[in-house]
Amino acid sequence: MSNPLLEQTGLPAFSAIRPEHVEPAIDALLAENRQRIEALIDNTPHPDWHNFVEPIEEWEDRLGRVWSPVSHMNAVVNSDALREAYNACLPKLSDYGTEMGQNERLYAAYKAVAENADALDEGQRKVLDNALRDFHLSGVDLPADKKQRYKEINQELSSLTSKFSENVLDATNAWSRVIDNVDALRGLPQSALDLARQTAEQNELEGWMLTLDYPSFYPVITYADDAELRKDVYKAYQTRASEQGPHAGQFDNTESMDRILALRHEQSQLLGFDNYAERSLARKMARSSDEVLGFLHDLAARSKPQAENELAELRAFAAERHGVSELEPWDIAYYSEKLRQHRYSITQEEVKPYFPETRVVPGMFDVVGRLYGVTFHEVDGVDAWHPDVKFYEIRDHDGTERGQFYFDLYARKNKRGGAWMDDCQPRMVTRNVAQIPVAYMTCNFTPPVGDKPALLTHDEVETLFHEFGHGLHHMLTQVDYSAISGINGVAWDAVELPSQFMENYCWEREALNLFAAHYETGEPIPDELYGRMLAAKNFQSGMMMVRQLEFSLFDFRIHREYDPTRGARIYEILNEVRDEVAVIRPPEWNRFAHGFSHIFAGGYAAGYYSYKWAEVLSADAFSLFEENGIFDQATGQSFLHHILERGGSKDAMDLFVAFRGREPQIDALLRHTGIAA
Catalytic annotation, residues: 467
Q: How many CB atoms lie within 10 A of CB 414?
A: 13
**Binder to Zn ion among 268, 499, 590, 649 (CB under 5 A)?**
499
Which range, of 21-29, 351-359, 493-501, 556-564, touches Zn ion by CB under 5 A?
A: 493-501
We find the least distance from the C-beta atom of residue 496 to Zn ion, in angstroms, to be: 5
Report CA Rg, the chain: 26
* Planar angle of CA 366, 370, 374, nearest 5 degrees: 80
- Ramachandran category for residue 399: left, alpha or beta (phi over 0 → left; psi -120 to 50 → alpha): left
User: What residue number has its CB nearest to Zn ion?
Assistant: 499
| Interface segment toward Zn ion; rule CB under 5 A; list 197-205, 321-329, 455-463, 496-504 | 496-504
Residues 548-607 contacting Zn ion, CB under 5 A: none
Q: Do 123 and 479 meet the contact criterion of CB atoms below 8 Å apart?
A: yes
Judge whether 130 and 483 are in contact, CB under 8 Å: yes
The minimum distance between CB 621 and Zn ion, in angstroms, equals: 15
Nearer to Zn ion, 53 or 490 (CB): 490
Span interacting with Zn ion, options 7-15, 122-130, 184-192, 497-505, rule CB under 5 A: 497-505
> Can residue 463 be called a binding residue for Zn ion (CB under 5 A)?
no
Give the Cα separation of 571 and 554 in Å (integer): 9
Q: How far is CA 474 from CA 3, 364, 379, in A?
A: 28, 17, 19
The residue range among 100-108, 290-298, 356-364, 495-503 that interacts with Zn ion, by the rule CB under 5 A, is 495-503
DSSP conformational letter for 492: G
Q: Which of residues 90-129 bind Zn ion (CB under 5 A)?
A: none
Q: Which long-range contacts (C-beta less than 8 Å, at least 24 apart) are formed by 390-394?
A: 394/475, 394/476
Q: Which is nearer to Zn ion, 24 or 602 (CB)?
A: 602
Nearer to Zn ion by C-beta: 76 or 82? Answer: 76
> With respect to Zn ion, which residue has the nearer C-beta, 485 or 499?
499
Strand, helix or coil for residue 178? strand
Q: How far apart, in whole angstroms, are the C-alpha atoms of residue 355 and residue 223?
A: 26
Contact 5, 25 (CB under 8 A): yes
Q: From 71, 223, 98, select the one nearest 158 (Cα to Cα).
A: 98
For Zn ion, which is the closer residue by CB, 544 or 584?
Answer: 544
Tell me the closest approach of the beta carbon of residue 652 to Zn ion, in angstroms.
Answer: 15
8 Å CB contact between 6 and 22: no
Do residues 340 and 536 make contact, with C-beta atoms less than 8 angstroms apart? Answer: yes
Decide: 548 and 395 in contact? Cβ < 8 Å: no
Largest CA distance in the chain: 81
The CA distance from 329 to 335, in Å, is 11
Please give the Cα distance from 30 to 264 (Å, whole number).
30
Q: Which is nearer to Zn ion, 473 or 594 (CB)?
A: 473
| Contact window for Zn ion (CB under 5 A) among 43-51, 257-265, 433-441, 492-500 | 492-500
Per-residue b or e along 617-632, where b marks 16 or more CB atoms closer than 10 Å to that residue's CB: bbbbbbbbbbeeebbb
Distance in Å, CB of 614 to Zn ion, minimum: 8
Binding window for Zn ion (CB under 5 A); candidates: 103-111, 159-167, 406-414, 489-497: 489-497
Coil/strand/helix, residue 316:
helix
Name which of 443 and 582 has its Cβ closer to Zn ion: 443
Among residues 465 and 600, whose Cβ is nearest to Zn ion? 465
- For Zn ion (CB under 5 A), the number of binding residues is 2
Binding residues for Zn ion, per CB under 5 A? Answer: 496, 499
